[in-house]
Structure 1
């Protein structure tokens, strides 16, 4: 198993998570995500997917174990340093989390503005991204006037506009039709080919078959199933779906 932290995007070792005095919702979770990998996270409702995603995008700290992100100990680092680390992530939330008083354009532009990109330099990329997700004509609309599917597409555009090093998407196609789902997955694949590590949590088994070089992470009652050992090593072409349902 590779041990060079610089060659790993995320490393979990013996991670456990419990809320209060309740039993652990995640137990002894261990895996490594490598640069350029495409990973699907699956599991039944209540398996712990949401809790695992919260650990991945640094919204929650584990009860025990070790998490390293981009070679940095994400557990012991000062909370004041977390925003810098989070800027290397793109997150698509299941509940969208758009800023209600901002237009679709301004929601998508937000990560670029936070990163210090000038208005002149961000206008074209944001417009192109909105066009890609089919919302060029809704650029000035606020979230309350958008449908659930439109809000989902704005959320995805916002997550990928800055070409994050790690993209985490929670049920990203749950509110769109099949044609748009296919187009959005093409966007994720294109970003992945540019070097972004992608993690998609989904119940849609059809999505697992759309990305032939993906690896599958299955959660079962808080434990990660890894029958092939695939998650312990850098992804290899063609290794992805040998255990797909």
Structure 2
């Protein structure tokens, strides 16, 4: 399958300290589903920032959708970012907008007319269990409700790449399963998905999910070959 993300020997350093990420190399095929795991402080959020173009690397090559994201002029970055949906760990909802308008934001930025926005946003609100909270502003929503609005906003435009940082951390197990089902459905439509999580049990929820593990800023499986559930060994191999 076509690779839409390529990292080659990427390093990231904040200030003059030690590298947060070191020699990170991998590629993501179009339509693949990856879980990014690792202990706290391993660099998962930093890696996601590079993926959604919030941060530039200190060294190395990053290609997104065939473009050199490191050398690309800043004026062209918004065009790439519009192809990426992001679920932030701190939600980043617009405080003066309702739940409906927060979710509708990517569609409006993309130029969709208001008459065409109503139906898909209402459908998304219902899917995440917030059909009766469309007019609520973020300050009146619980943490779990804000998380669901953030997820709905990230997926509403069917992005080419979805990046999610602990997307199920503030919801109950039933809603977590429902949100993962939403991600899986989006993935089947062709979206490449990267979910950073501490919850190893999530890996069993998505069929044929791939796993990348960060440890002290390095990928322990840079090829992305690990899968969950593990592939059975071939005859003649050690079990």
For the superposition of Structure 1 and Structure 2, which TM-score range results when normalised by the shorter chain? over 0.9
Go from structure 1 to structure 2 and tell me whether the alpha carbon gap of 1:147 and 1:36 turns closer, same or farther (over 3 Å shift): same
Q: 2:173 aligns with which of 178, 195, 206?
A: 178
The alpha-carbon deviation at position 230 of structure 1 amounts to 3.6
Q: Return 5+ residue gaps in structure 1 as ranges.
A: none
The alpha-carbon deviation at position 20 of structure 1 amounts to 1.0
TM-score by length of 2: 0.94
The alpha-carbon deviation at position 212 of structure 1 amounts to 2.1
Map 1:14-93 → 2, pairs under 5 A: 14-93=9-88
Match of 2:109 in 1: 114
Q: Give, in whole Å, the separation in 2 of the partners of 1:230 and 1:141.
A: 41
Match of 2:230 in 1: 242
* SS state at 1:212 partner: coil
TM-score by length of 1: 0.92
Match of 2:124 in 1: 129
* SS state at 1:66 partner: strand
Q: Is 1:151 aligned with 2:146?
A: yes
Question: Does the aligned pair in 2 maintain the 1:216–1:241 contact within 8 Å?
Answer: no
Q: Give, in whole Å, the separation in 2 of the partners of 1:51 and 1:242.
A: 27
Q: Return 5+ residue gaps in structure 2 as ranges.
A: 232-239
* SS state at 2:19 partner: coil
The alpha-carbon deviation at position 240 of structure 1 amounts to 3.6
Q: Give, in whole Å, the separation in 1 of the partners of 2:205 and 2:166.
A: 15
Runs of 4+ in 1 over 2 A off after TM superposition: none
Q: Give, in whole Å, the separation in 2 of the partners of 1:171 and 1:81.
A: 28
* SS state at 2:201 partner: helix
Question: Does the aligned pair in 1 maintain the 2:204–2:228 contact within 8 Å?
Answer: no
Q: Give, in whole Å, the separation in 2 of the partners of 1:74 and 1:230.
A: 21
Q: Is 1:217 aligned with 2:223?
A: no
Give deviations 1:161-220, integer Å, cap 9, x for gaps: 000000000000000000000000000000000000000000011111101211000000
When the two chains are superposed, the root-mean-square deviation of aligned CA atoms in Å is 1.3
Q: Give, in whole Å, the separation in 2 of the partners of 1:19 and 1:195.
A: 34
The alpha-carbon deviation at position 116 of structure 1 amounts to 0.4
* SS state at 1:51 partner: helix
